[in-house]
Amino acid sequence: MTRHLLTGTELDRDELLALLDRADALKAAPLSSRALEGRSVALIFEKHSTRTRLSFEAGIFELGGQPIVLRRDELHLARGESVGDTARVLSRHVAAIGLRTGPDALLEELAAASDVPVFNMLTAGHHPCQALADLMTLREEFGRLEGLKIAYVGDGNNVARSLALVGAIAGVEVAVASPEGYELTGDCAGALLTSDPAEAVAGAHAVYADVWVSMGDEETADARRAALAPYRLDDALLDRAAAGAIALHCLPAHLGEEITAEVLYGPRQRIWDQAENRRHAQKALLQLLVD
């Protein structure tokens, strides 16, 4: 049966830890695997991307493969060809398909018709590849995942949901602090949900921020900034976490909104390691899916 990664919950604990072990090995020796030698991977982007596109393109190349970047307006999807037919055609040419889009249903439809692995490069509901890099970064810093706590402060979005779901598999406690109207909904895997940032970060080994105005939220930007202002990640909030706590952010960052310059560029963050780890974790994921 073709294996996909749509939410991250397709992985069990042993598989997740083995994937992170493999990511560590690939970080230490980036050209040690030729898992995609002579094969191509289709990367479909319906949303803008910096880190996702860079990390997947570079990672596929390092695995010996050829990334094929496709945008919706370049495909017949934009002219009415069905998602299923697109998947059937792509399956005849590539080893795997990545999709960065809005509706989760579109990703699910693509996977249902595909004969090759489909992986989620971001949807409205989930961002599992980001969560894999986040866990890799945590383990690099603390040497373990079991028993760690990560606090996410801000909009209860796809990043928060993936942290909750994938973090739970790894044994990481996840707390999410959001204002009324921006709470994390749906399956939260037992995450602590609160409106109080101080409660969320108490005892946390990492404090995590994300943009307040995501792609598609521009019309409500002013209201979002007003509601989320108390959830800014600054030194004072980080001081409320456990001793030695680190700051994380999935980027792009908007200085003075969800994070201060002092934290983003300061000694307590691991944000740039986190951005690099996207490539290594995703290479391990691709190897798992295509083997």
User: Which CATH number characterizes residue 182's domain?
Assistant: 3.40.50.1370
User: Domain check: are 98 and 216 in the same one?
Assistant: no
Q: What is the pLDDT of residues 140-195, one digit of tens each?
A: 999 999 999 999 999 999 999 999 999 999 999 999 999 999 999 998 999 999 99
User: Domain check: are 96 and 122 in the same one?
Assistant: yes
Tell me the H-state helices in 29-146: 51-62, 83-91, 104-113, 128-142
Task: State the DSSP string of 225-281.
Answer: HHHHGGG-B-HHHHHTS-TT-EEEE-S---BTTTB-HHHHTSTTB-HHHHHHHHHHH
Residue among 127, 139, 224, 249 flagged as catalytic: 127
- Please confirm, yes or no, whether 278 is among the known catalytic residues: yes
User: Domain check: are 266 and 282 in the same one?
Assistant: no
Judge whether 104 lies within some domain.
Answer: yes
Residue among 278, 279, 280, 282 flagged as catalytic: 278
User: Domain check: are 141 and 240 in the same one?
Assistant: yes
User: Domain check: are 271 and 148 in the same one?
Assistant: yes
Q: How far apart are CA 169 and CA 102, in angstroms?
A: 25
User: Domain check: are 167 and 101 in the same one?
Assistant: no
Judge whether 5 lies within some domain.
Answer: no
Task: State the DSSP string of 170-194.
Answer: HT-EEEEE--TT----S--TT-EEE
Residue among 4, 39, 51, 100 flagged as catalytic: 100
| pLDDT band with cut points at 50, 70 and 90 for residue 214 | confident
Judge whether 258 lies within some domain.
Answer: yes
pLDDT computed for residue 32 by the predictor: 98
Q: Note down the domain range covering 223.
A: 130-275
- Please confirm, yes or no, whether 210 is among the known catalytic residues: yes
User: Domain check: are 248 and 136 in the same one?
Assistant: yes
User: Domain check: are 79 and 169 in the same one?
Assistant: no
- Please confirm, yes or no, whether 274 is among the known catalytic residues: no
pTM given for the model: 0.97
Q: What is the pLDDT of residues 19-66, one digit of tens each?
A: 999 999 999 999 999 999 999 999 999 999 999 999 999 999 999 999
User: Domain check: are 29 and 148 in the same one?
Assistant: no
User: Domain check: are 102 and 239 in the same one?
Assistant: no
| Count of the separate structural domains present in the chain | 2
